[in-house]
Amino acid sequence: MAKRENDLGRDPVGKLLFRLALPSVTAQLVNALYNIVDRMYIGHMEGVGDLALTGLGVCFPVLMFVSAISSLVGMGGGSRAVVRMGERKEDEANAILGSATALLILLSVLVTVFFQLVKEPMLLLFGATPETIGYASDYLTIYLWGSIFVEISLGLNFFITAQGFSTISMATVLIGAGVNIVLDPILIFGLHMGVQGAALATITAQAVSAVWVLRFLTGKRTKLRLQKRFFRINARVLAPVLALGISPFIMNSTESLVNIAFNSSLKAYGGNPAVGAMTICSSVMQVFFLLLQGIAQGAQPIIGFNYGSGQLDRVKKAYRLLLTCALTFSCTACAALEFFPGLFVALFNDKPELVGVAVWSLRVYAAGMFMLGIQTSCQQTFVALGQAKVSLFLALLRKIILLIPLILLLPRLLSDQVFAVFLAEPVADILAALTTGSMFLWRFPRILEHRRRELAEKHP
């Protein structure tokens, strides 16, 4: 069996973080393009681009929820499996992979059936109007039938990243993105399928990625391997996986609730242009947030493996490097969005009415992004250390406790209600990051000390 590309327990931490983060960031950049290329093409459909783009934006909560399930099972399972690998408990790690795969398939079937049944009334609740409901329904119908491929490709790719096979996990995204980018113009414009073509391109690309992931995890190079004997829903194995994965799940799934709150409020206060501007703002921010996630994902295997193996100095060093890189990136991204918002808006649409709203709203929406480096690095380190309850609270804090109430409250306090809705985002970002950073400073040394005592008791 070939050894892993990176030795998580011995290679220098700085070089290891660079080698893991670079392909992870590259993968997330391509993944971001994967997610927004549909919107870029749809937004430039002749005559109806603004309405079609707004209709696609109304589908975001469902798309985010599907992606959140992959994080619930995949990130929770991958984080737990890598700790078991650090403890040299390979059968337990493989059992996690097998049960996680079975659960992903089951959940994808349930999600598809449920959302197909409630699709149209749900989209109207999410902010669709008579002008945009047709575009939203056409896209979502096709996308849902391919959700099983989304769950497998995204969810199981975490298990590849967890082993240190960073270039393989990057290839998963590169392959899918390449297929999507090639198919989009062919299906949308060449075959005149419009939003249906965009959805078909997306799920075809995810199907190709899913095949790639499954072939690797059943092949010779992987250390974690899909095995028939572990392919079942095992509650004992899955309970701690779900407990750990609930934090990233809530981070992603609550994005759906946030999107619903944004769209319904903006529909009431500003109509289709405001909802369209929100689609552009969330698309742009998603790119930068995914890149930030890529940096954190590069550090997670290092932190988790070395925590499991008891090399706590390497854990501290990896965290410090993660925080430095993440904070530098988030501050740079925030500056770019504040000084050059028009460059980003122009990628999605060129109608003056929509562009005018989107440029100023993007400046407001992104004003707190400089703090996301603290939020992401601290929260993802808690996940890597197996701190499920803390991660869950922090995930709930930013979206549920702060952001959604602010979306509903600020328009009642400020005269410019559309501005007030967009302002909720930076206010929540700053408050959440300050809370997360403070909590991390207090808990991190105590977590490491507790692990040190555990190791001392096992090996006196």
pTM of the model: 0.70
Q: Is residue 378 part of a domain?
A: yes
Which amino acid, one-letter code, is at 224?
L
Residue 3 lies in a domain: no
How many domains does one find in the chain?
1
Identify residue 239 by its one-letter amino acid code. A
Task: Report the SS3 class of residue 310.
Answer: coil
Quote the tokens at residue 299.
């550090």
Note whether residue 136 is domain-resident. Answer: yes
- Cα separation of 287 and 285, whole Å? 5
417 falls within a domain: yes
User: Which one-letter DSSP state was computed for residue 12?
Assistant: -
Q: Would you give per-residue pLDDT tens digits along the chain (460 residues)?
A: 334 456 676 677 777 777 777 766 776 677 667 667 777 788 777 767 778 887 887 888 888 888 889 888 988 888 788 778 777 788 888 889 999 999 999 999 999 999 999 998 999 888 888 888 988 899 999 999 999 999 999 899 888 887 778 778 878 888 988 898 899 899 988 888 888 998 999 999 999 999 999 999 998 888 888 888 888 888 888 998 888 788 778 767 777 788 888 988 998 898 888 888 988 898 888 888 878 888 887 888 888 888 877 788 888 988 999 999 999 999 999 999 999 999 999 888 777 888 888 999 999 999 999 999 999 999 888 888 878 778 778 878 888 899 999 999 999 999 999 999 999 999 999 999 999 999 999 999 998 888 888 877 776 6
Cα separation of the two ends of the chain: 34
| Domain presence at residue 6 | no
Q: Containing domain of residue 189, as a range?
A: 13-458
Q: What is d(CA 153, CA 357) in angstroms, rounded to the nearest whole number? A: 36
| Total Cβ atoms within 10 A of residue 57 | 30
Q: Do residues 13 and 314 lie in contact, with contact meaning Cβ atoms separated by under 8 Å?
A: yes
Angle between helices 147-162 and 166-185 (to 10 degrees): 150
User: Is the residue at 109 inside a domain?
Assistant: yes
Residue 45 lies in a domain: yes
Answer whether residue 446 is part of any domain. Answer: yes
